[in-house]
Amino acid sequence: MNVAGRPRGLAAINNSGSSARGGAVDVDMYSDIPSFEISLDEFEEYALARLKVLRKIEELKTRNTPHEAFRSALSQTLKKNLPTPKIDTASHFILRAAYCRSEDLRRWFLAQECKLFSFRLEQCRNIRDFMKRNDIDLEMVDKAEKERVRENLMSVPGAPSPMEFSATEYYRVPFVEALRLISNRECYLERGFAYIPLAKIITIVEAKFRSALSKSLVLAGNNSNNANIDEHTRIGPLLKSMNSQYTGPSHLANFQNGEALTAANVDASVRSMPLCMSQLHAGLKRDHKLKHLGRLQFGLFLKGAGMTMEEHTMFFQREFTKIMTGEQFNKQYSYSIRHMHGKEGKRASYTPYNCMKIVMGSPPGGGEHHGCPYKHYDDENLSALLGKLHVGSVIEREAILKLKRDGNAQLACAKHFEVMHPGALGVESVSLEGVGNHPNAWFTASRKYYEAKEGGGNNDKTKMEVVKQEE
């Protein structure tokens, strides 16, 4: 795949894509590196499109979304972001280059890509044709061999009925390629080989895809040619920052009366703030000041929650002037607030920090309160904090801490939301889109949840009943 200066749009990719089907995206093993050209703008556009899909997969898995709802949501996301085989192929190889740089990145990319592959493989109408096109050569069990082990094959749970047995194709594969089926006792094992019906051969194909992709990621990560990519003035920075790119909304929406945060209602809204922001609020109330990075993180969050520049200034001034004069506050801090709201400097309208920016940012030092508690706090302090805030039960807190220990800060935050908002998935007015990916999404979803639960805003008996049933 070559990157060149070419017009934007789907027509910029020529017809040499890897799939023969025009329009619908076929399941792909991504074994052949594409040779078509795309522009630098498309390079970034397609990568971010696939990133939205992979993050959606992670989000749906985290919420234990039911199978049918998972399929529906993922189908819509794929249709919107990866509409053609060529965009699909290009985006896969771009992200493969971006996510090969560390073990954590490789593990995350592999998990999401394998889930996407499995989803598409389930939709494949002709698995035999797919295996043939991708040179997946499995040994088919002949009639004589099948009759010899007939009783053993029929004894496997989920085996075909006696009427269907003769028409069922079986394949003989090395047991190391069928460990998942063996562990679930879904196949017959003899002399180091597993006998698998065609209906379950998908598991073997998935294992081959996982193995091939894992090896290619490791090779790419160790390849000295990556140094040449890094030297490219445009591609290198794009690849290096790809995993920290935010793909959701900016959270700078217009708020109706009563919805926006103000200096008067911000303290009462702390219960709906994610842990990172409630800690900043607590630090501000305790110390009556925030250092630079804390003011940026918390201030932009407040802006995203609808707080105007005037209210923002009033709120900070109310706290800061408990340890300094109003003149000192105006001289040292008012300018930065106006700058945040696009009234000073280059007059840019800055957007709130997303979770990835916070997680990947500088950890807090002495007297600082910024950052992500699930990333930057140690286990002991985080456990004590969750207990102090009465976050769920001991078992639920341990589940959150386990996600944190496994390096899944954003999943731990999403689990925190789930624990503190039981039944939120069934509340019509609550959108969980972005929860665990953006503090303002967490805040908005929490406020909508409490409105439905307590009868505020648009009172809807159905929504109230759903929440009560879940509780």
Task: Indicate if the pLDDT at residue 398 is higher than 90.
Answer: yes
All residues at 6 or more sequence positions from 300 whose CB lies less than 8 Å from its CB, including other chains: 340, 350, 351, 352, 353
Share of the chain above pLDDT 90, in %: 59
Residue 240: count of CB within 10 angstroms of its CB: 13
pLDDT tens, residue by residue, 153-201: 999 998 888 889 988 999 999 998 888 899 989 999 999 999 999 888 8
Instruction: Round to whole Å and give the CA distance between 315 and 306.
Output: 13
All residues at 6 or more sequence positions from 440 whose CB lies less than 8 Å from its CB, including other chains: 251, 301, 304, 305, 352, 434
pLDDT tens, residue by residue, 68-112: 999 999 999 999 999 999 999 999 999 999 999 888 889 999 999
Give the DSSP H/E element, type plus range, for residue 3. strand 2-3
Query: Residue 99: CA atoms inside 13 Å, Cβ hemisphere, count?
Result: 28
- Sign of the Cα torsion 152, 154, 155, 157 reads positive
pLDDT tens, residue by residue, 21-59: 333 467 889 998 888 899 989 999 999 999 999 999 988
pLDDT tens, residue by residue, 126-137: 888 888 888 888
pLDDT-derived band at 312, boundaries 50, 70, 90 = very high
Q: Of 116, 6, 118, which Cα lies nearest the Cα of 51? A: 116
b or e along 321-354 (b: 16 or more beta carbons within 10 Å of the residue's beta carbon)? eeeeeeeebeeebbeebbbbbeeeeeeeebbbbb
Instruction: Round to whole Å and give the CA distance between 5 and 234.
Output: 12
Instruction: Judge whether 217 and 96 are in contact, CB under 8 Å.
Output: yes
pLDDT tens, residue by residue, 430-469: 988 889 889 999 999 999 999 998 875 444 443 444 344 3
Q: Of 385, 269, 263, 259, which Cα lies nearest the Cα of 313? A: 263
Threshold 0.85, pTM exceeds: no
b or e along 364-392 (b: 16 or more beta carbons within 10 Å of the residue's beta carbon)? beeebbbbbbbbbbeeeebbebbeebebb
Instruction: Round to whole Å and give the CA distance between 169 and 197.
Output: 6
Instruction: Judge whether 183 and 154 are in contact, CB under 8 Å.
Output: no
Query: Residue 371, by phi and psi: left (phi above 0), alpha (psi -120 to 50) or beta?
Result: left
pLDDT of residue 8: 37
pLDDT of residue 66: 87
Task: Indicate if the pLDDT at residue 233 is higher than 90.
Answer: no
- Measuring CA to CA, how many Å separate 456 from each of 268, 271, 273, 423, 464? 15, 15, 18, 17, 10
Instruction: Judge whether 62 and 53 are in contact, CB under 8 Å.
Output: no
Task: Indicate if the pLDDT at residue 426 is higher than 80.
Answer: yes
Instruction: Round to whole Å and give the CA distance between 414 and 411.
Output: 5
